[in-house]
Amino acid sequence: MKNNTADKIVWAKKDLLGLEYLSREEIEVILYTAQSFKEVTTRQIKKVPALRGKTVVNLFYEPSTRTRASFELAAKRLSADVINIEVEASSVKKGETLIDTGRNIEALKIDIIVVRHNCSGAPNILARSVKSSVVNAGDGWHEHPTQALLDMFTLKSKLGHIEGLRVSIIGDIAHSRVARSNIWGMTKLVAEVTVCAPPMLIPEGIEKMGVKVTSDLDEALKNTDAINVLRMQFERDTQKAFPTKLEYFKQYGITDQRLKKCKKDIVVMHPGPINRGIEMSSDVADGANSVILEQVTNGIAVRMAVLYLVAHAKREIVA
Amino acid sequence: MKNNTADKIVWAKKDLLGLEYLSREEIEVILYTAQSFKEVTTRQIKKVPALRGKTVVNLFYEPSTRTRASFELAAKRLSADVINIEVEASSVKKGETLIDTGRNIEALKIDIIVVRHNCSGAPNILARSVKSSVVNAGDGWHEHPTQALLDMFTLKSKLGHIEGLRVSIIGDIAHSRVARSNIWGMTKLVAEVTVCAPPMLIPEGIEKMGVKVTSDLDEALKNTDAINVLRMQFERDTQKAFPTKLEYFKQYGITDQRLKKCKKDIVVMHPGPINRGIEMSSDVADGANSVILEQVTNGIAVRMAVLYLVAHAKREIVA
Amino acid sequence: MKNNTADKIVWAKKDLLGLEYLSREEIEVILYTAQSFKEVTTRQIKKVPALRGKTVVNLFYEPSTRTRASFELAAKRLSADVINIEVEASSVKKGETLIDTGRNIEALKIDIIVVRHNCSGAPNILARSVKSSVVNAGDGWHEHPTQALLDMFTLKSKLGHIEGLRVSIIGDIAHSRVARSNIWGMTKLVAEVTVCAPPMLIPEGIEKMGVKVTSDLDEALKNTDAINVLRMQFERDTQKAFPTKLEYFKQYGITDQRLKKCKKDIVVMHPGPINRGIEMSSDVADGANSVILEQVTNGIAVRMAVLYLVAHAKREIVA
């Protein structure tokens, strides 16, 4: 990776709330720092003492196995102590406010709060209320910044750079925090982003974020360097606004046939878990262009970088 | 803190079951030991090797986030390994007896069992059945000794001493293990304790514990050095014995107006989580007299002290 | 323990899926390795750095407190990092396939996956899909190999050897993975195994596994060196195929009276949790012949050995 400037940049933010709030340079510092942590994950002893004696709380208001496990591993590989707190939606009503919860966690002298919340903006409120660092692990339909960072890290690892790439994001754009964080991040790193979805799953005014919009999959695939295929969350479609699974696969499912018409080295990403036979065929998911499992691996390195940076905010980074 | 005798005292109890069972000197040893652990929590690396290689089990028969997290952090900052075991009430019926559970945990060579149980006296039964140390993290309406210890620690930190202080405990005395432990502890340390609640929330015969009893808040506030405001657990009031929330706040809620008539330096405590606008107004909760978040911070130091002492029972304490 | 050959054997398997798949020599290597770890559990500091920097995931598709806690402790005493993942049966349907889950965990660079699953054979599928080591913590009615290994370890500790011993397994043979793993293991170590149960709880063709079969408890107890009494899982008897509890205890419950007619040093085992007054009386459970709590203690040492061996597969064991 070429990063002529990243190692001279000082990271000054105590929180990571979304890619909307970061400069291109800050995003590059995270990717650059992640690169050095990636090496750690390949060692026999996958552990460094960078956060020894620090405490990370995973505060999850939505159930999550994958993201929680990834953050927990990242923290443990930095030698931090980790406490998991799962708050059920039902207990929120009778419980204290988010700010009170945050202040109580701060009073426990926690260094970093990793928070997932069903309300957009909850991590921002929390971050303003506490001196502890706050890392957004997904909030409502707003942002999921570490997912987008690991997508960008993986893309850069594969293709060497992000600037000038054509990236298409395919699927339920309207309800996807992954899409929003990807759009913020990829456009800041000067990729050309296209979003592609059935018309009812494209949010109004999305083109103001600097992306091309289409409902035609062939158009989205043509000449693109990478696709980021979103998970269709049929289980959340209480209003029955979605097409049927079969219909969706027919019109928007990524298949080997469709891939054959694309650039030979097209990079296929998916935040997981995959609905095989809906968003993509198994041939594609397990095929040569798929980097889906590399994304999972890179997620650890990226989250180690984020935890490390926010814990050491305002210090010079010597990487 | 002045503790002329505490550092010569030998802690000899393998368990901490309740403040009823401790002497004044033993309580002072805990507070004195907590003082030295408090310093640890202010360091960059908040960790000491005091319990390295020891194992602590959090055995919780009632759901709890705050107390469990506080004990887990305390244990981890002492470098102990921690295992969380949550037993759902529903699985108790088909499961083994408490004594069998205890013996099985003991057979795992666990050093300390931190137990929360909905039945009063359960920790006592457990402690008699096992060689492992048992720490009561709240049992029924009986005791919550570490909460009262952290209340006393906080009060002593603020006012320099506890002997001779006037302390009023306000709220649902009848169903509060926090109240009972506070009464035992504060009276042993020779504070003058008043309890104040609506008549139906004062348990019969409570004055035999050596406290003054009143249902008049103004009387409870007059000339008192500190108040400990209990959480009103409306969600548990299945018999509708409680006053309405509005009515309660009007008669017993602590407001800035009421505080103005009190001693200027009155210390306001609450075990959390606060029902803002019920037990106290937000002005008071976040005001200059409130030590509520300090209580949370001190909880770690006090629990570190308790875990340390029971693990090293019968050895001379060199603090 | 005499093990003239075990210390020269090289452990070469990346997984532990069942005792069916192990040779006598491999079983002896595990028991021999467990012996050296048992000593660790008696130290003041019960911790060795054998798996420092390695990561163990407990992937549990069935709720479990005891086995999960035992594996978690074993991993922590080897200084591994541990992540617990509990998957609810309900979320399996809408979730990803077992193989996708496995590959995702592998992509997190996990060294060992400890898996419990309600489907027989699930750990085998997982093991074929990933490079990480897989340890079966119980799958359907198939196997529970570490339970049988700790049973054999305990028996050998008590009686000095297993070859030539008479061992009776008593209870619900039909639905017991503990029974199946015990039969595979004990017969490979050349014990004479008898299974004893009410006729409807004896699976057809079980005698092909090399065991004697009887429904007469007196016959099963006569001249036997050890009994392994299975838990009757009445809560799972949805088809009401079981006898009543009272009837079962009368015909198959182990009592002091029955024990008096047995060999004086008969070893009484039970995988726990005991239904007192159903499978055995309290006199027996807590009596001089019972090694039930020693089994729990030995479970840690055996699981430490298994985790250690699979993590170091294909290396020469220097014990």
B175 touching A (Cβ < 8 Å): no
Same domain? B179 vs B90: no
B294 touching A (Cβ < 8 Å): yes
Per-residue pLDDT tens over the stretch B173-190: 999 999 999 999 999 999
Q: Spell out where chain A has E strands.
A: 55-60, 81-86, 112-117, 133-139, 166-170, 192-196, 212-214, 226-229, 267-269
Residue B285 in this model has a pLDDT that exceeds 50? yes
Q: Are C43 and B53 inside 8 Å of each other by CB?
A: yes
pLDDT attached to residue C233? 83
Q: Which residue has the higher pLDDT, B226 or B243?
A: B226
**Average pLDDT, rounded, for chain B:** 92
Q: Among the listed ranges A237-241, C83-87, C245-249, which one has the minimum average pLDDT value? A: A237-241
pLDDT attached to residue B93? 56
Q: How many domains does chain B have?
A: 2
Q: Yes or no: say if A186 and A152 are a contact pair by the CB < 8 Å rule.
A: yes
Residue A89 in this model has a pLDDT that exceeds 70? no
Residue B241 in this model has a pLDDT that exceeds 90? no
Domain extent, residue C88, equals: 6-142+299-311
Q: Grade residue A94 by pLDDT with cuts at 50, 70 and 90.
A: low
pLDDT attached to residue B81? 96
DSSP conformation letters of C177-204: HHHHHHHHHHHHTT-EEEEE--GGGS-T
Give the whole-angstrom CA distance, residue B73 versus residue B40: 12
pLDDT attached to residue C142? 97
Same domain? C183 vs C212: yes
Same domain? A226 vs A135: no
Sign of the CA dihedral with C140 first, then C143, C149, and C152 last? positive
Percent of chain A at pLDDT above 70?
93
C107 touching A (Cβ < 8 Å): yes
Same domain? B164 vs B285: yes
Q: Are B104 and C47 inside 8 Å of each other by CB?
A: no
Tokens 């004696």 sit at which residue?
A53
Q: Grade residue C168 by pLDDT with cuts at 50, 70 and 90.
A: very high
Looking at residue C233, which CATH number applies to its domain?
A: 3.40.50.1370
User: For residue B213, how many other CB atoms are within 10 A of its CB?
Assistant: 17
Give the whole-angstrom CA distance, residue B311 versus residue B133: 7
Q: Which residue has the higher pLDDT, B41 or B264?
A: B264
- Give domain status of residue A1, yes or no: no
Q: Yes or no: say if C169 and C221 are a contact pair by the CB < 8 Å rule.
A: no
A:51-70 residues touching chain B, CB 8 A cutoff: 52-55, 57
pLDDT attached to residue A290? 98
DSSP conformation letters of chain C: ---TTGGGPBP--S-B--GGG--HHHHHHHHHHHHHHHHHTTSSS----TTTT-EEEEEESS--SHHHHHHHHHHHHTT-EEEEEE--HHHHHHS--HHHHHHHHHHTT-SEEEEEESSTTHHHHHHHH-SSEEEEEEETTTB-HHHHHHHHHHHHHHHS--TT-EEEEES--TT-HHHHHHHHHHHHTT-EEEEE--GGGS-TTGGGGS-EEES-HHHHHTT-SEEEEPP--GGG-TT--SPPHHHHHHHH-B-HHHHHTS-TT-EEE--S---BTTTB-HHHHTSTTB-HHHHHHHHHHHHHHHHHHHHTTTSBP--
- Quote the tokens at residue A289: 């262009």
Same domain? B139 vs B183: no
How many angstroms separate the CA of residue C67 from the nearest CA in chain B?
Answer: 11
A293 touching C (Cβ < 8 Å): yes
Chains that touch A (3 or more CB pairs under 8 A): B, C
Q: Are C45 and B53 inside 8 Å of each other by CB?
A: yes
pLDDT attached to residue C280? 97
pLDDT attached to residue A90? 57
If we measure between CA atoms, which residue out of C71, C73, C63 comes closest to residue C40?
C73
Q: Are A70 and C108 inside 8 Å of each other by CB?
A: yes
pLDDT attached to residue C318? 43
Q: Yes or no: say if C172 and C202 are a contact pair by the CB < 8 Å rule.
A: no
Q: Grade residue C316 by pLDDT with cuts at 50, 70 and 90.
A: very low
Three-state DSSP class for residue A269: strand
Set of chain B residues whose Cβ sits within 8 Å of the Cβ of C273: 95-96, 100, 104
Same domain? A86 vs A188: no
Q: Which residues contact C59 (CB under 8 A, 6 or more apart)?
A: C85, C87, C101, C105, C113, C114, C115, C116
A109 touching B (Cβ < 8 Å): yes
- Give domain status of residue B262, yes or no: yes
Q: Are A107 and B296 inside 8 Å of each other by CB?
A: yes
Q: Which residues contact A179 (CB under 8 A, 6 or more apart)?
A: A169, A171, A172, A173, A195, A228, A230
**CA-based nearest residue in chain B for residue C65:** B85
Interface test with B, best of A51, A57, A78, A83 (most B CBs within 10 A): A83
- Give domain status of residue C149, yes or no: yes
pLDDT attached to residue C2? 45
If we measure between CA atoms, which residue out of A80, A142, A129, A134 comes closest to residue A310?
A134
Burial letters A248-287, b for 16+ CB under 10 A, else e:
bbeebbbeeebbeebeeebbbbbbbbbbbebbbbeebbbe
Sign of the CA dihedral with A168 first, then A170, A174, and A178 last? negative
**Average pLDDT, rounded, for chain C:** 92
Give the whole-angstrom CA distance, residue B82 versus residue B79: 9
Same domain? B164 vs B80: no
Sign of the CA dihedral with A253 first, then A259, A260, and A263 last? positive
Q: Provide mean pLDDT across the span B26-42.
A: 94
Same domain? A127 vs A184: no
Set of chain A residues whose Cβ sits within 8 Å of the Cβ of B43: 53
A132 touching B (Cβ < 8 Å): no
Per-residue pLDDT tens over the stretch A27-58: 999 999 999 999 988 888 889 999 999 999 99
Give the whole-angstrom CA distance, residue A96 versus residue C70: 35
Residue C282 in this model has a pLDDT that exceeds 60? yes
Q: Are A46 and C52 inside 8 Å of each other by CB?
A: no
Residue B8 in this model has a pLDDT that exceeds 80? no
A60 beta partners? A86, A116
Q: Grade residue C45 by pLDDT with cuts at 50, 70 and 90.
A: confident
Phi, psi of C222 (to 5 degrees): -65, 125
**Average pLDDT, rounded, for chain A:** 92
Residue C284 in this model has a pLDDT that exceeds 70? yes
Same domain? A64 vs A128: yes
Give the whole-angstrom CA distance, residue C21 versus residue C296: 24
- Give domain status of residue B1, yes or no: no
C81 touching B (Cβ < 8 Å): no
- Give domain status of residue C180, yes or no: yes
Q: Grade residue A143 by pLDDT with cuts at 50, 70 and 90.
A: very high
C4 touching B (Cβ < 8 Å): no
Q: Grade residue C97 by pLDDT with cuts at 50, 70 and 90.
A: confident
Give the whole-angstrom CA distance, residue C1 versus residue B299: 48
Q: Which residue has the higher pLDDT, B168 or A238?
A: B168
Q: Are C83 and A70 inside 8 Å of each other by CB?
A: no
Q: Grade residue B91 by pLDDT with cuts at 50, 70 and 90.
A: low
Same domain? C71 vs C167: no
Q: Are A296 and C85 inside 8 Å of each other by CB?
A: no
Per-residue pLDDT tens over the stretch C127-165: 999 999 999 999 999 999 999 999 999 999 999 999 999
Phi, psi of A299 (to 5 degrees): -55, -40
A55 beta partners? A81
Three-state DSSP class for residue A254: strand
Set of chain B residues whose Cβ sits within 8 Å of the Cβ of A104: 66, 272-273, 293, 296
- Give domain status of residue B318, yes or no: no
Residue C208 in this model has a pLDDT that exceeds 60? yes
Give the whole-angstrom CA distance, residue C214 versus residue C233: 20
- Quote the tokens at residue C284: 């027996």
Size of the A and B interface in Cβ pairs below 8 Å: 58
A8 touching C (Cβ < 8 Å): no
Residue A319 in this model has a pLDDT that exceeds 60? no
Same domain? B39 vs B120: yes
Same domain? C244 vs C185: yes
Chains that touch B (3 or more CB pairs under 8 A): A, C
Instruction: Let me know the angle formed at the C-alpha of B17 by B12 and B22, rounded to the nearest 5 degrees.
Output: 55
Q: Grade residue C1 by pLDDT with cuts at 50, 70 and 90.
A: very low
Chains that touch C (3 or more CB pairs under 8 A): A, B
Q: Provide mean pLDDT across the span C175-194.
A: 98
Per-residue pLDDT tens over the stretch C2-32: 444 555 567 999 999 999 999 999 999 999 9
Q: Among the listed ranges A79-88, B205-214, C71-80, which one has the minimum average pLDDT value? A: A79-88
Q: Which residue has the higher pLDDT, A148 or B86?
A: A148
- Give domain status of residue B130, yes or no: yes
- Give domain status of residue A316, yes or no: no
If we measure between CA atoms, which residue out of C67, C121, C118 comes closest to residue C90?
C118
Phi, psi of A227 (to 5 degrees): -120, 145
